[in-house]
Structure 1
Amino acid sequence: MALNVGGLVALVVFYLITLATGIWASRRSKKEARGNPSEVAIVGGRNMNFWVGLFTATATWVGGAYINGTAEIVYLPARGLVWVQAPAGFALALLIGGLFFVNPMRSKNYLTMMDPIQEAYGNTMGSLLFIPSLIADVFWFAAILASLGSTMKVILDIQGYLAIVISACIVILYTLLGGLYSVAYTDVIQLVFITASLGICIPFAMTNSATESISRTVARHVFQAPWVGKIEAQDIGRWSDDFLYLVLGAIPWQTYFQRILSASSAKQARLISYFSGMGCFMLAIPSVLIGAVAASTDWNQTAYGLPTPNERGESALILPLVLHYLCPTYVSIGGLGAIAAAVMSSGDSALLSASSMFAHNIYRKILRKKATEKDVLWVMRASVVVFGALAAALAFYSHSIYDLWFLGGELVYTLLFPQLCCALFIPHTNAYGSAAGFFFGFLLRLLAGEPSLKIPPLIHYPGCSLVDGAYVQRFPFKTVTMLVALLTIVSVSYLAAFVFKRSLLPPTWDVCQLIKEDRMFVSLPTREKQTGLQKDGSDERMEENKSDGTL
């Protein structure tokens, strides 16, 4: 196989268009950033155009791992369409987010998802809870970079590491130049590429002479098991656990809140959340069809030959394989553009998310409280470079796109989701409960084991069995861990408040200064009534004092 020069040129042109768009958007961000540059970089000055906000919110979720992983799961004989949970899961997550999370976040004019957590539980817990969010964002970017590298190796016959390095450098460059504006406007270009490119590829793949009609193979065994798949009775718990993980675990991500906080009004933020969920669901259809085509193809009639991709262990590459072997060359190049666009649209969001929280919640609120706007902006830019380089390095060592994608969000689901819910919706929870929930939840998740990291389970939930040398938990243990963490936060918070307020423990043991904070907030309504600060949310000093509590 020779180097595909035409495809390489087309890809370079696409990258140049994306980079030019990002640089143009960065100039607009500089015009908007005269008063508060860090706020413009993080949430676009809270006046993002509705349509741009909708496009960027949709493109954020439709990444390389999303479109590659969906096609892979449909193709796998042991899985099939019924195991493709991300499209419906993300759609429901964005619906729930719009219904319940938009108003509480916007009413306080928060900049990041970590703001309400730091406000409720202090800076120490804010620092701890930043860690799972950072890990998730870096793993997410690494997964989609790996998917792009493997795709370029198949279609262009170039080394995957070149694709990873070049793509990471371009994403890092325009993200640090323009912040959310560059990310949002490049997302518009990238979403158009994804929709058009995959849409063009599908008819060619479906009408290839080596492919049977997918309507025939949907429920019949032709070349392999039917691509619709089935759920065995023993796997119902695991299936439901993964689905709830996608629905609820997709909410506590800064990439999501960055979009709804950048909208010009709460109404627009809710609409963006609802419609972007619909967009995510619809944009999974091309990947589903490509996976179905792969399951309906006699690979012996193609240049790929036998054994099949599944038998060779190359099922993770099924989307680029279909584009390369079942479509004309110029069409497969268009599909490559779609994957590259998907990678960038999610990668820049992950980078901006992690760097925003580090600069605002860690650097400005903890490390250097007197930092200027310029200082925060430069720390944010440096973070983009560091986190981007780390993700690119991890991409070289990833072996399973779908596993890496799932693993990156599990800590967010089990640790961060209950913390955010308690901070926003359950009054009087405190740092004691937050700390207990964090450590107990982390311990339970660790004891359940992790096959991809070769960590054996110490807790064998019902249905746990040994499969191919690794233990598989079929019980919905991730959801159980999340619920246990949630109950721990609430129960320990109320217990701590009871024992200290009733003087059952000496005040010197109150390391979180629970009694001091309680007295401070008793007088808060009177002060707000006198000064009128409650309406405009400008009582920054009181919020800062509250966030300074330590464990």
Structure 2
Amino acid sequence: MVQTVILATVVIYLLGMLAVGFYFQQKGMEDITDFFLAGKGAPWYLVALSFFATAIGAGGTIGLVAGTFESESITEFWSYGITLASSFVVAFLLGRKLPNTKNITIPSLLEDRYDERTRVIAVPFYILRFVSTLAAQWLAAGTIISFIFADTLTVTQGAIIGAVIITIYTAAGGMSAVMWTDFIQGVLLFVGLWVVAIVAIGDFGGFSAMTTQVTAVAPQAFDLFALNWTLIAAYIVTLVPSLLVRQGYLQRIMSARSPRDGFIGANLNGIIGFAYIPVPLLIGAMGLVMYADIDNPQFILPQMMRDLLPTWLAAILLAALVAAIMSSGDSFLLSGASNFVDDIYLRYLNPDASNRRQRRVSRIAVVGLMVGSLFLSIILPNIIDLIVFGALALTGGVLVPWLAAFYWPRGTTDGAFWSLAIGASATVAWWWIGYFADTSEYLGLHPIFIGLPLSIVLFFAISLLQEPEYENALRTARKHELTSLEERTLRAMDESAETYDE
């Protein structure tokens, strides 16, 4: 009876998500801006909750619980806490600028500001990033769905079911469907996990009794600083820049209906995230006492739900776990498809495609990306490890010319291209050396400490050695309504003219 209620609830929830997708399909979409950026009409609360649901996802929930259990410490906070803090940096630097941009993807905006070469070299790294991320999401979906169905489904079968459902509503409704399902899933995830934590603490006899029992098993369980400070510093250096180039997140801000909505939404995401992150940490710590002998720490959270909550509530919150996976999967699926459509199909294969053709190709790209990443996750699970360098390459190569596109009109096309090409290549090369040496930090250096400094030096050195290309910056500023960039460019042009006259 319990299992039947749980299964029925999860199935009803999944059908509801499909209904959202088809609702937005029926509303109609004029072009790929509607499909990939929700017609640039998202209000601040939709930006915030969609950003939160995408960023925290399955990794931030199930992964934090399992990580806390395995490390016997809440120091797992640092990796996700710094990521959440980074959202305030994103809000400050890009929150008011991205809503005005006219492009669908980051590589296309790089071409606007610099040249085609910069776009061409950036696209493969974004596609690799999304393939690897999606492969991880499908495996996570398979694990949880298999658990919910009491092992009547294998992890592979669960992964296929999850991938198909996510793909159907994403392909049907585009970004509008993704953002509204993320909104629903974000609320469900936030409220649901706090309920689990509060009930579990009550089962211990209160917060004080819980901490006493947990620290008896793991003395450092609640010591947030039981982590080497150098590792914390490494998180800051790698995670803060990373969020500034992660297209799947930035497209939420690009979808905002105004600069104000983009700025508020990005900041609110950070606030919501910090209010949420203690929950999986506490659940993982309590699992040290409640489930000391569990075989798979990823099952601590669903097992706690089933053991402590009424059947109806456990069923709803298990659906929230499925939501945690879906909210990341749909976002990366849509964002990756936008690179195929905008950066490859419309740029090189069929620039004059009609709006109807664009919508059709967009849906085909969503399905194709799902099939490709699902195939790789099933046939070659290690592909996730082998191409994770795609994410590192974005920070090591794309970050500098990307931010400079908004803030430094003196940057040149050669500076952008070579800083991206060599910075990304050096990051990837160092990662591969470490991979074969079985270490993530070859010679004690994280790959980002090799590629990013090279990228910075090359971009500014080459740009300063060349003639200014202010016309590129001015054209980009006016196209994308970047008022501050236009003002900087005009001021630099005036100063350059005065120097020449002298």
TM-score normalised over the length of structure 1: 0.77
Kindly report which structure 2 residues correspond to 1:14-163, keeping only aligned pairs within 5 A, or say none.
Answer: 14-28=13-27, 30=28, 33=29, 36-77=30-71, 80-157=73-150, 158-163=153-158
Q: Identify if the C-alpha distance between structure 1 residues 64 and 135 changes in structure 2 by more than 3 Å, giving closer, same or farther.
A: same
Tell me the distance in 1 between the aligned counterparts of 2:104 and 2:22: 24
Q: Provide the rounded CA distance (Å) in 2 between the counterparts of 1:135 and 1:364.
A: 20
Distance 1:326 1:535, change over 3 A: closer
Q: Does 1:173 align with 2:123?
A: no
Shift of 1:202: 2.2
Q: Is the 8 A contact 1:140 1:404 kept in 2?
A: no
Tell me, in whole angstroms, the C-alpha distance in 2 between the residues paired with 1:460 and 1:144: 28
Task: Go from structure 1 to structure 2 and tell me whether the alpha carbon gap of 1:373 and 1:274 turns closer, same or farther (over 3 Å shift).
Answer: same
**Does structure 2 conserve the Cα–Cα contact (< 8 Å) formed by 1:56 and 1:188?**
yes
- Given that 1:240 and 1:476 are in contact with CA atoms closer than 8 Å, whether structure 2 keeps it comes out as no
Task: Quickly say closer, same or farther: Cα 1:397–1:243, change in 2 above 3 A.
Answer: farther
Classify 1:441/1:456 alpha carbon distance in 2 versus 1 (closer, same or farther; 3 Å). Answer: farther
Q: Kindly indicate whether the alpha-carbon contact (under 8 Å) linking 1:118 and 1:125 is maintained by their aligned counterparts in 2.
A: yes
Q: CA deviation at 1:82?
A: 2.2
CA distance in 2: counterparts of 1:41 and 1:72, whole angstroms = 36
Q: 1:214 aligns with which of 210, 213, 219?
A: 210
Distance, in Å, in 2 between the alignment partners of 1:380 and 1:11 is 29
Q: Which runs of 5+ in 2 are unaligned?
A: 483-502
| Structure 1 residue 351: Cα displacement | 1.0
- Name the counterpart of 2:471: 521
Match of 2:261 among 244, 256, 268: 268
Q: In the TM superposition, what is the alpha-carbon distance from 1:335 to its structure 2 partner?
A: 3.2
1:541 aligns with none
Q: Is the 8 A contact 1:429 1:493 kept in 2?
A: yes
Would the aligned equivalents of 1:449 and 1:456 in 2 still touch at CA under 8 Å?
A: no
Equivalent-residue separation in structure 1 for 2:390 and 2:78 (angstroms):
16
RMSD: 3.5
Aligned match of 2:459: 489
The residue number in structure 2 matching 1:252 is 245
Q: Is the 8 A contact 2:132 2:384 kept in 1?
A: no
CA shift in 2, pair 1:402/1:217, >3 Å: farther
Distance 1:146-1:243 versus aligned 2 partners, 3 A rule? farther
CA shift digits 1:65-90 (9 cap, x unpaired): 11111112222236x22232244223
Matched, 1:297 2:290: yes
Considering fraction of residues, name the structure with more helix.
2
Residue identity opposite 1:39 in structure 2: T
> Counterpart in 2 of 1:340?
322
1:423-466 deviations in Å (ceiling 9; x for gaps): 322323334333322332234323434699545569843xx3xx
Q: Residues of 2 paired with 1:393 and 1:458: CA distance?
A: 26
The letter for the 1-side match of 2:259 is: A
Could you say which residue in structure 1 is the equivalent of 2:496?
none
Alpha carbons of structure 1 residues 133 and 458: separation in structure 2 relative to 1, 3 Å: closer
What CA deviation, in whole Å up to 9, does each residue of 1:95-132 have, x standing for no partner?
Answer: 11111113343444333322321113322321221122
The SS at the match of 2:95 is: helix
TM-score between both structures, scaled by the size of structure 2: 0.84
Distance 1:444 1:459, change over 3 A: farther
Corresponding pairs, count: 478
CA contact (8 A) 2:76 2:281 kept: no
In structure 1, how many angstroms separate the alpha carbons of the residues matched to 2:448 and 2:185? 33
Q: Deviations over 1:294-341 (max 9, x none)?
A: 123363xxxxxxxx34xx5x3344433444556565554333211111
The answer (yes or no) to whether the contact 2:57–2:325 under 8 Å persists in 1 is yes
Asked whether the 8 Å contact 2:85–2:270 carries over to 1, the reply is yes
Structure 1 residue 51 displacement after superposition: 2.9
> Which residue type is aligned with residue 181 of structure 2?
T
Q: Percent identity?
A: 19
User: For the structure 1 residues 69 and 184, does the alpha-carbon distance in structure 2 shift closer, same or farther, using more than 3 Å as the test?
Assistant: same
**CA 1:536 to 1:186, structure 2 compared with 1: closer, same or farther past 3 Å?**
closer
Please tell me the residue identity of whatever aligns with 2:411.
T
How many Å apart are 1:277 and its aligned residue?
A: 1.5
Per the TM alignment, residue 64 of structure 1 is displaced from its structure 2 partner at its CA by 0.8
Shift of 1:269: 1.1
In the alignment, the residues of structure 1 paired with residue 181 and residue 111 of structure 2 have an alpha-carbon distance, to the nearest angstrom, of 32
From the CA coordinates, give the structure whose radius of gyration is larger.
1
- Tell whether the 8 Å contact from 1:223 to 1:298 is kept in structure 2 after alignment: no
Assess, with a 3 A threshold, how the Cα gap between structure 1 residues 105 and 10 changes in structure 2: closer, same or farther.
Answer: closer
Q: Which moved more, 1:200-209 or 1:451-460?
A: 451-460
Which deviations, in whole Å up to 9, do the C-alpha atoms of 1:174-205 show, x marking residues without a partner? 11112111111212221232123323322343
**1:192 pairs with 2:187:** yes
Give the residue type in structure 1 aligned to 2:427. Answer: R
Structure 1 position 141, deviation (Å): 2.4
The change in CA–CA distance for 1:243 and 1:334 in structure 2 (over 3 A counts) is farther
In the alignment, which of 272, 275, 285 is matched to residue 279 of structure 1? 272
Q: 1:224 aligns with which of 198, 209, 218?
A: 218
Which structure 1 residue ranges, 5 or more long, are not aligned? 300-307, 465-474, 502-517, 539-551
Q: 2:39 and 2:220 mapped to 1: Cα distance?
A: 50
Amino acid at match of 2:460: V
Counterpart amino acid of 1:262?
A: S
1:316, 1:401 within 8 Å by CA — same for their partners in 2? Answer: no
Taking structure 1 as reference, are residues 324 and 534 closer, same or farther at Cα in structure 2, changes over 3 Å only?
closer
- CA separation in 2, counterparts of 1:294 and 1:452? 34
Counterpart residue number, 1:366: 348
Q: C-alpha offsets along residues 383-429 of structure 1, whole Å, 9 cap, x if unaligned?
A: 10111122323443687999799766323322222231233223233
Q: How far is 1:13 from its partner? A: 0.9
Counterpart CA distance in 2 for 1:202 and 1:7 is: 20
Contact 1:50–1:268 at 8 Å: present in 2 too? yes
Deviations 1:503-528 (A, max 9, x none): xxxxxxxxxxxxxxx5x939x97xx9
Letter in 1 for 2:211: S
Distance 1:277 1:477, change over 3 A: same
CA contact (8 A) 2:36 2:175 kept: yes
